[in-house]
């Protein structure tokens, strides 16, 4: 089974990412490659991670017209990775196009398509940001529920949201995985606004966690990873 703890490799270079991963040699990790590292290290680095046995979550958060997203996802579908992302705010037709693109790319390569995860409201967004900056009226949780239901309709495999919203999503009986960032062992003061501990996230129904700085910036990353894992396991 895929490791439910996904580490966000938010590093500026391939060398930094590989140095971080050195102690994790025998750990069956799924690692998330986001915009910074992908733009710096590209597809060759994705293959390096796969050669070393890591599962890959390619997080490029596509948001464009359906035809452009379809074509990009057709390429991504051929990579043999585990997860990739689009923004819900691209709308249902764009999400459907993304799903088709992944399926067509994977079929072309004769492999399984990655899970398509849809970003609902970012965990750095709070109620005020959503209403004032994005000019989306109403309640943030209701917006996440609406976007997740749309993603489900469009054939997505999961959504990215705060663990705080998962109970409301489960109440809708959606056929989705709930991948939740904004995970912290204790209260923190960084840019994340909707924050949850790993144990609480599991109790709330998260399928998987995305964890970045609390592990990547720790003095002892492997020990930090084990603390998250222990809390996750204890919350069964
Ligand atoms: O798509 C994501 O992974 C994502 C969505 C979201 O709503 N919030 C969010 O923090 N993320 C990502 O999850 C990771 C969280 O990193 P830390 O805040 O360092 O734990 C980063 O790579 C973010 O890009």
User: Which is the catalytic residue, given 16, 44, 64, 104?
Assistant: 64
Spatial distance between the Cα atoms of 40 and 20, rounded to a whole number of angstroms: 16
Mutate to test the pocket of ligand 1, among 8, 17, 218 (most ligand atoms within 8 A of CB): 8
Which ligand 1 atom is nearest residue 183's CA? Answer: 20
pTM of the model: 0.96
Q: Where are the domains of the chain?
A: 5-234
pLDDT tens per residue, the chain (236 residues)?
589 999 999 999 999 999 999 999 889 999 999 999 999 999 999 999 999 999 999 999 999 999 999 999 999 999 999 999 999 999 999 999 999 999 999 999 999 999 999 999 999 999 999 999 999 999 999 999 999 999 999 999 999 999 999 999 999 999 999 999 999 997 666 777 778 999 999 999 999 999 999 999 999 999 999 999 999 999 97
| pLDDT at 186 (0 to 100) | 77
16 is catalytic: no
Q: How far is the CA of 34 from the centre of ligand 1 (A)?
A: 9
* Confidence (pLDDT) at 80: 98
Q: How far is ligand 1, taken at its centre, from the CA of residue 218, in Å? A: 17
Catalytic site residue from 16, 51, 59, 157: 59
pLDDT recorded at residue 178: 98
- The residues near 183 (Cβ < 8 Å, ≥ 6 apart) are 163, 195, 196, 197, 198, 201, 209, 210, 211, 214, 228
Q: Are 120 and 178 in contact (CB under 8 A)?
A: no
Say what the pLDDT of residue 26 is.
86
What is the pLDDT, as a whole number, of residue 204?
A: 97
pLDDT for residue 194? 79
Would you say the CB of residue 181 lies under 6 angstroms from ligand 1? yes
Centroid of ligand 1 to alpha carbon of 196 (angstroms): 13
Report the residue among 88, 212, 215 best suited for mutation to probe ligand 1: largest number of ligand atoms under 8 A from its CB: 212
CA dist 35 and 16 (Å) reads 15
pLDDT recorded at residue 2 = 83
- CATH number for the domain whose boundaries are 5-234: 3.20.20.70
Nearest to 89 by CA among 134, 55, 33, 58: 134
Considering 16, 61, 168, 193, which one is annotated as catalytic?
61
């Amino acid at each position: 089974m895929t490791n439910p703890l996904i580490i966000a490799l938010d590093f500026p270079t391939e060398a930094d990412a590989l140095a971080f991963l050195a102690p994790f040699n025998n750990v069956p990790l799924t690692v998330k490659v986001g915009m910074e590292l992908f733009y710096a290290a590209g597809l060759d680095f994705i293959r390096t991670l796969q050669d070393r046995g890591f599962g890959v979550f390619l997080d490029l958060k596509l948001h464009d017209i359906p035809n452009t997203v379809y074509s990009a996802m057709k390429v991504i579908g051929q990579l043999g990775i585990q997860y990739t992302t689009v923004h819900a705010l691209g709308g249902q037709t764009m999400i459907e196009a993304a799903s088709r693109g992944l399926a067509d790319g994977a079929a072309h390569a004769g492999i399984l398509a990655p899970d398509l995860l849809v970003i609902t409201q970012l965990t750095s967004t709070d109620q005020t940001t959503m209403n004032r900056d994005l000019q989306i009226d109403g309640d943030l949780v209701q917006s996440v529920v609406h976007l997740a239901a749309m993603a489900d309709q469009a054939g997505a495999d999961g959504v990215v949201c705060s663990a705080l919203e998962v109970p409301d999503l489960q109440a809708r009986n959606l056929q989705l995985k709930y991948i939740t960032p904004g995970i912290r062992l204790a209260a923190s003061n960084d840019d994340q606004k909707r924050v949850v501990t790993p144990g609480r996230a599991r109790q709330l129904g998260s399928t998987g966690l995305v964890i970045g700085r609390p592990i990547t910036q720790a003095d002892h990353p492997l020990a930090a990873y084990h603390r998250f894992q222990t809390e996750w396991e204890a919350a069964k």
